[in-house]
Chains A and B, each alone.
Chain A
């Protein structure tokens, strides 16, 4: 956002350190938060409609088509707003959720029962705050220059040190541990500015004031820009969601809920590990945890899916499990467990669980697109950096479009692959995906460490996948519960086909 930066009163020397913290930014952040919460909730509501429509299409039904923007009221005068292919359905659903009776069954642990849906929705929403929806700009720093100089010094052999280098080294040593310095006074900042200008001239870059101006004129399409732990933050907050499910299931005093939550917690923590490992490969290649930097890296080096297809496959499988989507929707398998952990929830509390689930879907889709499919990059259309408002909107559109494609892929899979059995599910996570993820990680480590071509990762990881598949076919098969045998019927005595 365009604003003129000024340091807080009485702290004029803080100009670089407190660059991203001032009153104006505070207001911008609030506006961003309101926008993101509104847009995400609206998107969730319409994704539910989309899900129902796609389900209907897959089953050759019509799907919701009655409620238009008249919200189903008979006395509504404008006939043109009726019907509309069910476009009013999410709004009507929302109102209904609000007006429904809030049943709290007897025997529940009231505190935990009430906390669980709040926790589910807040963890799902929190994860979004580091995901960049569009282009972001990195704030310039005088320290950039300093680290560069330090690196140059650190990598230079001691024998070829000039007097200037020695002086610089002494200066760093004086400045304290690791030589990282904040400009602590106006005079020191001026010194740094001078050094920065010289550095910029030498490298053909722009001096600090110009970089600052450029940054001030840019737009941040992320709630919390420049959070260095980006991906780990999403994973950490995402795993907190397991608490919501466990609390909801345990406090409900319902056997279905308890079974669902036990299954779910085991599933969530099992799939966390292959997910973390597949992210680790991308992280190793990029050298950063910051989602924005990961996208920018893919502009220069090609989308990660080209180099790490196996990691992408593992990641997508894991996020399906993390979101409790079909084929991994055992926690809420309707046919066995009624509603799983949210059997006893109704009205708004149920809506919060649902909202959390769909928000989680959106976040993980954004993350998958950012990690493996280039984020807001589209060859020939978008490039990193601030390219004006039109460019920003195009990036937003590209990113949103990719995310929506991914969510539709989620829904398509729901009607394509049947549900796993629980032992198969755990076996897939621990016996198949974990070794595969580890091997894939080793491929990335070795290729990058010995500075081989990145393209080598593609055939190596694919070969690894094929060899692992062939090996697994030769492994002794454990006796399956579904092996069919013959046995006399206990009552009639006739031979019948039974499960062994």
Chain B
């Protein structure tokens, strides 16, 4: 079946209902629940101790590296999805004569990804010490 947006309207209806629920539930609780502000209640929880310093501290740069690597590999996966979804079907967008060529191109593409992966490993991105 070809794409048309008419298939997707229940998604948007559902989105409206879900967001409505997500807002209404805490709002109702806010309206009917008691509220009494005390200084101790306002304190961040730190196992009963008085909190020391700000909580918004620096964090390890490795999280950033992981995020970048995630982008690399997830985008790589996204490139593969359309090909994987259309390759086997009979109504494929890929003409049969090109199937071999496309397949080997995908293998070459995967090879470059593997090179990137090995590079990241050798550079020690996956080391958590």
Q: A-side interface residues toward B, CB under 8 Å?
A: 17-21, 26, 29-30, 32-34, 37, 97-103, 105-107, 114, 117-119, 121-122, 125-126, 129-130, 138-139, 141, 143-144, 147-148, 150-151, 154-155, 180, 223-228, 232-233, 250, 252-258, 262, 265-266, 269-270, 272-273, 276-277, 280, 283-289, 338, 343-344, 347-349, 351-352, 422-423, 426-427, 430-431, 434-435, 438, 442, 445, 448-449, 478, 481
Contacts and interface: CB of A to CB of B under 8 A. Distances in A.
Interface of A is mostly: helix
Interface residues of B, number: 76
B44 A253 contact: yes
A118 B45 contact: no
Given A139-B1, A255-B55, A33 B44 contact: no
B119 interface: no
Interface of B is mostly: helix
Contact of B1 (A97, A150, A228): A228
Given A273-B73, A343-B45, A426-B126, A129 B7 contact: no
A272 B34 contact: no
B80 A285 contact: no
B18 A125 contact: yes
A426 B70 CA distance: 12
Interface in B18-75: 18-19, 21-23, 25-26, 28-30, 32-36, 41-47, 51, 54-57, 59, 63, 66-67, 69-70, 73-74
Given A117-B26, A258-B56, A434-B117, A287 B7 contact: no
Contact of B56 (A21, A139, A250): A250
Nearest to A442: B110
Interface string B80-115: 110011111111100110010001001100100010
Contact of A352 (B25, B33, B57): B25
B70 A258 contact: no
B57 to A, nearest CB: 7
B19 A118 contact: yes
> Which of B15, B29, B121 has the most CB atoms of chain A within a 10 A radius of its CB?
B29
Given A99-B33, A122-B22, A155-B96, A224 B10 contact: yes
